[in-house]
């Protein structure tokens, strides 16, 4: 009886253990089924004919087919022709390797294949493949994992397309486009670069610009400075350099650069434009301006002589006033071009007096009110004479305004402040100083000290403050003197 009881107890314990193992297995199966049904990837198994023998429920989420539908499909119904061809080629290679000694039986492959979706579209799936072997180790099929990489593949294709478009743009850009590293070695040059330099890009790529004869000595120094700026991460340009093409000709170019990251390093992206035609056009314009200046200068000289012959008592007045006006302008930092305008306008600022009767201009006694009104017309008359003269400067308007005053009390238009040209405000001060400092038929010279007191007392009232202060500084601190007659 004791043995029977013991046997019964043992059976009960074994039964309990079996139930526990079954429960564990059921739990494991349930968890596996949950994973298989809810995982993002697809688990599959195929035979040597590539017919699906198992596929996880996640196939429906990835490709729209149920597991039963998928297992009923042939491989050519699953893959696009190109991917089917690739899969068959890989299968053939792997079957050949099976006969080779030393082949790893646990090897695997990863392919990117294009599968049909149930809705008629296609999806790119990353397919992990590994062999299934029977107890004797013979290949019996394949199993693996499939992951949808359509979004990644589309992004890669879009990037490739974008890069292809970018490369086509670079290659066919009107301007030259080149790349070099931060040591100055050329990495790339487009078709336009080849046209500008006359070299094939293969002749320069990998070489340092300082080691090849493509820059004049002055431009080589400039290029080294630009490379230094690039090494500090700075963009440069536009800068004008002179290149030496393969035939030894100098080619003026304009270059702009930026520092960009390409893959794992910083490089210089440069844009180069041949400005030979622009330089030629600029020279033609400059030559034309020079001829115009010479012609205008000759005309001005004739007019100045005519004025001084007509009015001998003011001989040299215009020249001295113009010289003083130019000195003031230079001290104030005006450009060379504007100073030249002041010189020319100042030299003939009294041209309107050619229309005033000579007896009034040379009258030895004080002028009557009527005579003075006639004299005051000379700025307008000068403007009328000069307004149709072709000139790159507003000579007529400077002459018209040289008797205007900043408080509006001048003549002939009573202009105020900044409505008077800066050149005319300068000439107004110079004209006043020269006129007061020098003798006139109808009055003796007041002298330079009195003239400067006039300017000082009316700075900001009649005369521009900055111009007045500059004039006073020239005489009192820098020793400027009016030229003798």
* Residues 284-341: tens digit of each pLDDT: 878 877 787 777 777 777 777 777 776 666 657 888 999 999 999 999 999 998 999 9
Residue 163 has pLDDT above 80, yes or no: no
Interatomic CA distance for residues 382 and 160, integer angstroms: 71
Q: Which CATH number fits domain 280-476: 3.40.50.150, 3.20.10.10, 1.10.3210.10, 2.60.120.10?
A: 1.10.3210.10
| Count of all residues that appear for the chain in the document | 485
Average pLDDT (451-457) is 94
Classify 445 in phi/psi space as left (phi over 0), alpha (psi -120 to 50) or beta: beta
Q: Give the list of residues 6+ apart from residue 287 with CB closer than 8 angstroms, or none.
A: none
Domain range list for the chain: 34-153, 174-274, 280-476
Largest CA distance in the chain: 168
Instruction: Say which CATH topology domain 34-153 has.
Output: Beta-Lactamase (3.30.450)
Residue 431 has pLDDT above 90, yes or no: yes
Interatomic CA distance for residues 74 and 91, integer angstroms: 16
Average pLDDT (441-464) is 87
Please report the pLDDT score of residue 452 as a whole number: 94
DSSP assignment, residue 132? Answer: E
Please report the pLDDT score of residue 158 as a whole number: 78
Q: What mean pLDDT value characterizes the chain?
A: 85
Take residue 123 and report the two structure tokens written for it.
Answer: 């999806």
Residue 453 has pLDDT above 70, yes or no: yes
Interatomic CA distance for residues 176 and 188, integer angstroms: 11
Least confident of 11-15, 248-252, 473-477: 11-15
In tens, the pLDDT along 7-42 reads 656 656 666 666 666 665 555 555 455 545 555 688
Please report the pLDDT score of residue 3 as a whole number: 56
CATH class of the structural domain 174-274: alpha beta
Q: Give the list of residues 6+ apart from residue 221 with CB closer than 8 angstroms, or none.
A: none
Interatomic CA distance for residues 168 and 429, integer angstroms: 63
Average pLDDT (87-110) is 87
Take residue 337 and report the two structure tokens written for it.
Answer: 């071009």
Average pLDDT (44-51) is 89
Residue closest to 274 by CA, chosen among 245, 247, 246, 234? 245
E strand segments, 138-249: 139-148, 176-181, 186-189, 236-244
174-274 matches 34-153 in CATH topology: yes
Please report the pLDDT score of residue 23 as a whole number: 60
Interatomic CA distance for residues 329 and 327, integer angstroms: 5
DSSP assignment, residue 416? Answer: B
Q: By the 8 A CB rule, do 73 and 52 touch?
A: yes
């Amino acid at each position: 009886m004791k043995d029977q009881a013991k046997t019964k107890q043992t059976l009960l314990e074994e039964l309990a253990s079996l139930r526990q193992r079954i429960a564990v297995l059921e739990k494991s199966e349930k968890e596996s089924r949950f994973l298989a049904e809810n995982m993002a990837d697809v688990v599959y198994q195929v035979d040597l004919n590539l017919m699906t023998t198992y596929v996880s429920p996640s196939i429906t989420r990835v490709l729209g087919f149920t597991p039963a539908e998928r297992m009923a499909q042939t491989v050519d119904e699953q893959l696009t022709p190109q991917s089917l061809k690739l899969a068959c080629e890989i299968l053939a290679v792997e079957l050949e390797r099976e006969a080779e000694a030393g082949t790893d039986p646990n090897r695997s492959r990863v392919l990117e294949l294009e599968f049909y979706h149930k809705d008629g579209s296609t999806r790119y799936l990353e397919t992990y493949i590994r062999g299934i072997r029977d107890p004797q180790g013979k290949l019996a099929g394949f199993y693996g994992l499939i992951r949808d990489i359509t979004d990644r593949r589309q992004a890669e294709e879009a990037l490739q397309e974008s890069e292809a478009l970018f490369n086509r743009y670079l290659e066919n850009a009107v301007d030259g486009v080149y790349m070099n590293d931060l040591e100055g070695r050329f990495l790339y040059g487009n078709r336009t670069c080849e046209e500008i330099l006359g070299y094939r890009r293969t002749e320069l790529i990998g070489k340092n610009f300082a080691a090849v004869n493509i820059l004049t000595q002055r431009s080589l120094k400039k290029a080294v400075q630009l490379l230094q700026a690039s090494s500090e991460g700075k963009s440069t340009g536009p800068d004008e350099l002179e290149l030496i093409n393969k035939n030894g000709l100098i080619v003026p170019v304009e270059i702009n650069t930026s520092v960009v990251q390409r893959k794992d390093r910083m490089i210089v992206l440069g844009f180069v434009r041949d400005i030979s035609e622009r330089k030629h056009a600029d020279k033609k314009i400059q030559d034309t301006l020079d001829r115009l200046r010479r012609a205008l200068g000759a005309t001005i000289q004739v007019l100045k002589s005519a004025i001084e012959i007509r009015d001998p008592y003011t001989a040299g007045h215009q020249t001295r006033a113009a010289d003083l006006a130019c000195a003031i302008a230079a001290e104030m930092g005006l450009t060379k071009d504007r100073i030249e305008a002041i010189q020319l306008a100042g030299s003939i600022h009294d041209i309107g007096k050619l229309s005033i009767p000579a007896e009034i201009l040379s009258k030895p006694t004080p002028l009557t009110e009527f005579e003075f009104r006639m004299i005051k017309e000379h700025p307008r008359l000068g403007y009328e004479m000069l307004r149709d003269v072709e000139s790159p400067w507003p000579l007529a308007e400077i002459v018209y305004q040289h008797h205007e005053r900043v408080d509006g009390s001048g003549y002939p238009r009573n202009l105020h402040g900044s409505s008077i040209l800066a050149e005319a405000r300068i000439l107004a001060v110079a004209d006043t100083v020269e006129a007061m400092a020098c003798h006139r038929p109808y009055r003796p010279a007041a002298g330079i000290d009195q003239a400067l007191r006039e300017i000082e007392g009316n700075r900001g009232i009649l005369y521009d403050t900055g111009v007045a202060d500059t004039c006073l500084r020239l005489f009192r601190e820098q020793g400027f003197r009016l030229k003798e007659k």
